[in-house]
Amino acid sequence: MAPVRLRHPKGVMTIQVDFDHFTVQDLQQEVFAATEIPPSLQDLKAGYPPHSLTLIPELPLESLGLKQGEQLIVTQKAEASREPSSSRSQPVAATSTTTRGPMTGLTASQTREPETPAPARIAAPAPSSRGPGPDYVEVDGGYLVHRIVPDDNSCLFSSVALVFEQDIKKAPKIRQIVADEIRKDMLTWSEAILGRPRDEYISTILKPTSWGGAIELSILAKHYLTEIASVDVETGRIDHFTPPSDGPQPDSGNRCVLIYSGIHYDAATIAPILDAPDEFHQTVVPRETDGDAVLVAAKKLADALRAKKAYTNTATFDLRCQKGLKGEKEARAHASETGHVEFGEY
């Protein structure tokens, strides 16, 4: 038996898997025991970028191509009565009650992790029927406003810089914070967790062409002692990245909000009035419960953006780079073969 890290809607845990004798059905039963998601509704993903596994219960486990030490992501498939737009599972599976510290943010989905060669740069789709200003939702004491940052492969770092440093030009500083934390904490951020040699990961994350994801958000939540709540536009799910409870410094008890479109991160901040100057926006708020006003507003903001189709399903989107490409997987393969790193969605 070997331990396998399992990310599921309620958090992260470790299950024991017999790689030599298990069938796919045996694995599904272990996942069911851990998550209460029936085998028929399980959507299992593995690898990077996370990809759905073809589950044929009678086949041996080796048919899935899993490796020891690999992380599995399980989400529940949409019921027939649910809206089609809610059916995609996000690479990092979590519900509005999920919290996690540094050890749980391992692949993102919401998420991107550094890649060599540089990951394909994909232009985020503009919301249809967009008005003259950013989208917003009324919240107690003001408006939760969608703060759009440049689509330049540094969107996660720019969004965090906007929130905590009030300056998106400090995105390189945010990358350095991540690199420094990985460099000094060899136990938490081991090669097994990072999925590649530590020095290679550090070198890559410092490049402006590399994307960030759950690992980076976990580190930044710890650094700023503040929960980062990331709202997925397509599903409305909120992923919570929280400072470790046993850290050397106490949790601030605050949270900030990021908006995730499937390939792009933006920030969401509170303005006292519409059209208020940026310096008057509140970027961090007290953390209450998962039903507090700011999170309710964040979900409504995601609903508004979803209605405008302002999200991208990374498993099915069409890309154009001289020839048509389907999805993020083909984009990365094409980038590896040709060195092309800029694509347009159509």
pLDDT at 2: 85
How confident is the prediction for the chain on average, in pLDDT? 77
Lowest mean pLDDT among 73-82, 192-201, 302-311: 73-82
Distance, CA of 135 to CA of 306 (rounded, Å):
11
Provide the pLDDT confidence category of residue 178 given band limits of 50, 70 and 90: very high
Confidence check: pLDDT of 286 > 50: yes
The span from the CA of 332 to the CA of 326, in Å, is: 10
Whether 129 and 71 map to the same domain: the answer is no
**57 and 153, same domain (yes or no):** no
Average pLDDT over every residue of 265-289: 90
| Secondary structure E strands in the chain | 2-8, 11-17, 42-46, 51-52, 71-76, 121-122, 136-139, 142-147, 227-232, 238-241, 254-260, 265-271, 285-286, 318-321, 323-326, 342-345
Whether 318 is covered by a domain: the verdict is: no
- 127 shares a domain with 71: no
Instruction: Answer yes or no: are the C-beta atoms of 301 and 229 closer than 8 Å.
Output: no
Segment 197-216 shows an average pLDDT of 94
Q: Which helix (H) or strand (E) holds 161?
A: helix 155-165
Residues 59 and 133 in one domain: no
194 plus 46 within the same structural domain: no
Residues 299 and 184 in one domain: yes
* CA–CA dist 340, 319 (Å, integer): 12
User: What is the bridge-based pairing of β-strands 2-8 and 11-17?
Assistant: antiparallel
53 and 173 share one domain = no
pLDDT value of position 84? 37
**Segment 125-137 mean pLDDT:** 58
With a cut of 80, say whether residue 17 has pLDDT above it.
yes
Q: Are strands 227-232 and 265-271 parallel, antiparallel or unpaired?
A: unpaired
Helix (H) or strand (E) run with residue 334 in it: helix 327-338
pLDDT digits (tens, 9 = 90+) for 145-165: 999 999 888 999 999 999 999
Average pLDDT, stretch 322-326? 48
Catalytic site positions: 152, 155, 264, 340
> Is residue 23 in a domain?
yes
Residues 53 and 161 in one domain: no
Measure the CA–CA gap between 28 and 36, rounded to whole angstroms.
10
Is residue 199's pLDDT more than 70? yes
**pTM, whole model, 2 decimals?**
0.58
pLDDT of residue 90: 35
Q: Which long-range contacts (CB under 8 A, 24 or more apart) does 184-191 make?
A: 185/102, 188/102, 188/103, 189/102, 189/215, 189/219
Q: State how many domains the chain has.
A: 2
Band (pLDDT 50/70/90 cuts) for residue 313 is: low
| 87 against 140, higher pLDDT | 140
132 shares its domain with 281: yes
Q: Which domain holds residue 13?
A: 2-77
**Does residue 189 lie in a domain region?**
yes
Same domain, yes or no, for 138 and 65? no
Residue 102's pLDDT band (cuts 50, 70, 90): very low
The answer to the question of residue 67 being in a domain is: yes
Measured CA to CA, the distance from residue 122 to residue 264 in angstroms comes to: 9
Which letter does DSSP use for residue 216 in this model? H
Residue 99 is assigned to a structural domain of this protein: no
The pLDDT of residue 235 is above 70: yes
Q: Could you tell me if 152 and 211 lie in one domain?
A: yes
The enclosing domain of 221 has a CATH number of 3.90.70.80
Q: Domain for residue 316, yes or no?
A: no
Alpha carbon distance 243, 219 (integer Å): 8
CA–CA dist 134, 271 (Å, integer):
12
Under DSSP, the state recorded for 317 is -
Q: Examine residue 143 and state whether it is found in any structural domain, yes or no.
A: yes
Confidence of residue 9 (pLDDT cuts 50, 70, 90): confident
pLDDT of residue 171: 97
Domain membership flag for residue 156? yes
CB 29 within 8 A of CB 39: yes
Instruction: Give the integer Cα–Cα distance in Å for 29 and 38.
Output: 8
Query: What CATH number is given to the structural domain containing 65?
Result: 3.10.20.90
Query: Edge-to-edge strands of the sheet including 51-52?
Result: 11-17, 2-8, 71-76, 42-46, 51-52
Higher pLDDT, 252 or 140: 252
3-state class (DSSP) for residue 77: coil
More confident residue, 323 or 283: 283
344 vs 160: which has the higher pLDDT = 160
Question: Distance between CA 256 and CA 110 in Å, rounded?
Answer: 16
The answer to whether residues 129 and 264 belong to one domain is yes
Predicted local confidence at residue 49, as pLDDT: 63
Stretch 106-111: mean pLDDT: 39
- Lowest average pLDDT, out of 117-126, 162-171, 189-198, goes to 117-126
